[in-house]
Structure 1
Amino acid sequence: MSTTEEKFKLAGLEMKYFIPISIILIIAVFLGKLPSGMLGAFPIMIIIGGLLDYIGNKTPIIKDYLGGGPIVIIFVSAALVYFNLIPAKEVKIIKDFMTTQSFLDFYIAALIVGSILGMNRKLLIKAAVGYLPVIIGGVTVSLLLTGIIGYISGYGFVNAVFYIAIPIMGGGMGAGAVPLSQIFGQALQKDPTQLLAVMVPAVALGNALAIVSAGILDKIGKRFPSLSGNGKLLKTQDSEMSKEKEHTPLKYEELGKGLLLATSFFILGNVLSKFIPIHAYALMIISVAIAKIFGIVDEYYEECCAKWFNFIMKNFTSGLLVGIGVAYTSLKEVIEAFSPIYLLLVATTVIGAIIGTAIVGHLIGFYVIEGSITAGLCMANMGGTGDVAVMSASHRMELMPFSQISSRIGGAFMLLLTSLLINFLL
């Protein structure tokens, strides 16, 4: 058994399977025989994603500071389209699968419903009453500071807040920049592709700066011991907040139940959006959070949703990122978005998150260093991979449950906040 586990794999496959599948796909593309819909899109996206994910996670600097596999998958996939290295027919198959066939919505439904229902209920409630205000403090200072610098520099207050600060603080790509581009696109009647081209570099650079900042905060904590809890977040720590829910062994029928519940919550969000002027994603988040807090869904079915989310996340995330690169990321517009003021606004966003969480965290009873790392930097990084990198850089892996609150609940909060702000500012 041990020798099988040690064999080199891509996309979870040994080379004796990965290579023949890749050859079959290349031949199908060359002959114009790649099927449309998910039959063609799934294999080509998963194979490309598996290869690029490995490259990104092994490339120095990129793996340590820029998000590793996810960022490489998105940008290289976009480059393959930009340089016409993927034929137009196959590009259309992937674009249609992501957009008109709604694979992106399908993934986001699994992500949001499964991650919230899969959380420890007490953790969610405590996060709402204690941890969430610290997150809000970081978000508020970050958005205001970035908006003011954007206004002074001529970039624009609204542009700086909506296209740079909010995407960075929004929880990464799949749960942040991508659904945000959909929300903005609907409100502004713009192509989400154009909006995502500005957001993606901001998210990548914000992730890099968050990781570097984590190491700096660790050093500041050593220099000024009164600011640090040495891995302890609260000055009066509650051990219940650190408990993660344990899952039972998987039964295959549970995946089907999780699928049905996740898609039903998504549909509920769409129904409610007909009566409430907020984006369907945000209404789905509110519905799931209410169901979780008040115990409306039985624990067994919550577990089904969590297992469905984990199945989708572990098997399809790399493929989804290929789809984001192909369908939603214009490399030409990404290149045009870069400028010195753009880089300054990214830095301002991360610094604002640190300052805001430090102030509010201190007032609530958090240690300044730990509060800034978990509620600030783990909002500014790229979700799960960013959490691991930030916790590692700050030598505080024991705070991972709190970083998960930032990535899951904080990211959902940003989608909700954006849906509300967009009605007032735009």
Structure 2
Amino acid sequence: MSSVVEPAIRWFKQERVIPLQLLLLLAAAVAALSARGAINPNLPTMIGVLAVGGFTCAEIGGIIPWIKRAGGPALTAAFLPSYAVSRHWLPDNIVDCVTKFTSSTQFIYLFITAIVVGSILRMPRRQLIAGMLKIFVPLIGASILALIVAALGGMAIHVPPSEALFMVAIPIMAGGVGEGVLPLSTGYAQLRHMNAGILIGQLLPVVLFGNLVSIVFAGALNSLGRRFPHLTGNGILEPEPADAAQPAALPPDPSHHDTLDLHAIIIVIFVCILLYMIGQICQSLTSFPGPVATLILTVLLKLTGVLPPHIDNAAGAVGRFFSTAVTYPLLFAVAVALTSWSAIVTALRPANLLIVILVVTTLVVSGFFLGRAMGLYPIEAALINACHSGSGGTGAVAILTASDRMELMSFAQIATRVGGVITVASAFFAARWFGIW
């Protein structure tokens, strides 16, 4: 009996982002509003609904042992709500309001901007420069290997190499839905003289399943890092060089990060918004992807040292807040509003399954060894490559959450955004040059 009671007591008493008692009260309030038909897509109500849904799914993923080891909380928050919608387990008024709120606010962009700005500004400049230069070797090398493996694997199961490459491998590495599936389907439709909507239905399930496999790998890499600590920097990409002597300046005050500098945090929030808006202006003027422009601008801010150190520290605090408090609610919202369970099921065609698993495995494993050869922590390098096979920004959030390394978001954005742009452009060039269609 004690074998059941003691773990239950430990689970009840464990520390949570939202204490269990408060989460239950929020759930009761959501249930009461839903029963009265009074759920509205306003900000306070949706914060409560998404918090209940996201953290409840995370709890479920953290309880089941075999799911927990595969990044369970992120896995369940990213996919269980989609299944619940398909089974009509969630009230229609909640689904409608969550869908309307998620689609109208697009708050994922605020989340990603805060994470990217926070992770870059709090990073030492030397580490930022070296990391961004070095990650392209495992990223590009692994991508080439993944394409070769996909073609060979396709031929082994009687799938034409062009089908395995252009309809499976390339969509996985194209950077998600908005930056990958949509431009690919539009370009393919022009080349093949067919409806782009049909192609979206073929490409989207592949990307979703690739993201699922990447999340499972992320959980496995996290477990590997706990077992072999020398393989991971726990969110730090590159070991500090042995000759990096202590700086002449006074060492940082250990309590500094725990001090709430409200004015600095306010400044950081508006810096994030400004950087995002400038990125959108760049996109409207040049068609250059806005998130990539925001990333580049943030890197330039860090490299030029325009912002004082206390603002950099506050940016780190803002990033940690979003990664801790917003991740699971965001995954829940995206799963309810944007992830079709029928599309996920469609991706389970055996041939697609095998090729997707081969592509993601090649990206992660070769990223591990190529990253190690470049002097990076191999687990972090493998995780960045896993993000390259995720479904864009949302996929990167789920993958890094499953691995408990949200600090890598800035590098993950390079893998998804820059890597995705290169992949899409290369796909169109190759399709035209070799006359695939």
Q: TM-score, normalising length from structure 2?
A: 0.74
More divergent stretch after superposition (319-328 vs 349-358): 349-358
1:236 CA displacement: 10
- Unaligned runs of at least 5 residues, structure 2: 1-8, 187-195, 388-397, 429-437
Given the superposition, is the C-alpha separation of residues 415 and 234 from structure 1 closer, same or farther in structure 2, using an over 3 Å criterion? closer
Partners in 2 of 1:196 and 1:47 — Cα distance? 28
Matches within 5 A, 1:16-415: 17-65=22-70, 67-146=71-150, 149=153, 153-154=159-160, 155-166=163-174, 180-184=176-180, 187=183, 188=185, 197-209=205-217, 237-238=241-242, 240=244, 248=257, 249-353=259-363, 356-357=366-367, 360=370, 364=374, 366=375, 372-377=378-383, 379-380=385-386, 383-388=399-404, 405=408, 408-415=410-417
Query: Aligned-pair distance for 1:326?
Result: 0.4
- Contact kept, 8 Å, 1:77 with 1:326, in 2: the verdict is yes
What is the TM-score with the length of structure 1 in the denominator? 0.76
Q: Distance in 1 between matches of 2:104 and 2:123?
A: 31
Unmatched 5+ residue regions in structure 1?
168-179, 222-228, 389-399
SS at match of 2:322: helix
> Residue type of the partner of 1:204?
L
Q: Secondary structure at the match of 1:153?
A: coil
Shift of 1:133: 2.5
| CA gap 1:10/1:375 in 2 versus in 1, 3 angstroms | closer
Query: Is residue 181–residue 204 contact of structure 2 (8 Å, CA) maintained in 1?
Result: no
Cα 1:57–1:355 shift into 2, 3 Å: closer
- Residue by residue over 1:118-163, the C-alpha shift from the partner in whole angstroms, topping out at 9 and shown as x without a partner, is 2222211121334543343233423453366457724431222343
> What amino acid does structure 2 have at the position aligned with 1:182?
G
Q: Distance in 1 between matches of 2:238 and 2:331?
A: 36
Q: Judging changes above 3 Å, is the alpha-carbon distance between structure 1 residues 57 and 193 closer, same or farther for their aligned structure 2 residues?
A: farther
Shift of 1:278: 2.5
Q: Which residue of 2 aligns with 1:395?
A: none
Relative distance call for 1:74 and 1:7 in structure 2 (3 A) is same
Task: Note the alpha carbon deviations across 1:68-126, whole angstroms, 9 max, x for none.
Answer: 11111122211221122223332221112212122122212212222222222221112
Q: Give the deviation of 1:45 after TM superposition.
A: 0.8
Residue identity (%) = 17
- Mapped partners of 2:108, 2:240: distance in 1: 42
Q: CA deviation at 1:329?
A: 0.8
TM-superposed CA distance for 1:10, in Å, is 6.0
Give SS of 2:41's match.
coil
Q: CA 1:234 to 1:277, structure 2 compared with 1: closer, same or farther past 3 Å? A: closer
- The answer on whether the counterparts of 2:69 and 2:223 sit within 8 Å (CA) in structure 1 is no
Q: Count residues with an aligned counterpart.
A: 383
CA distance in 2, matches of 1:410, 1:361: 14
- Write the distance in 1 (CA, Å) between the matches of 2:345 and 2:399: 24
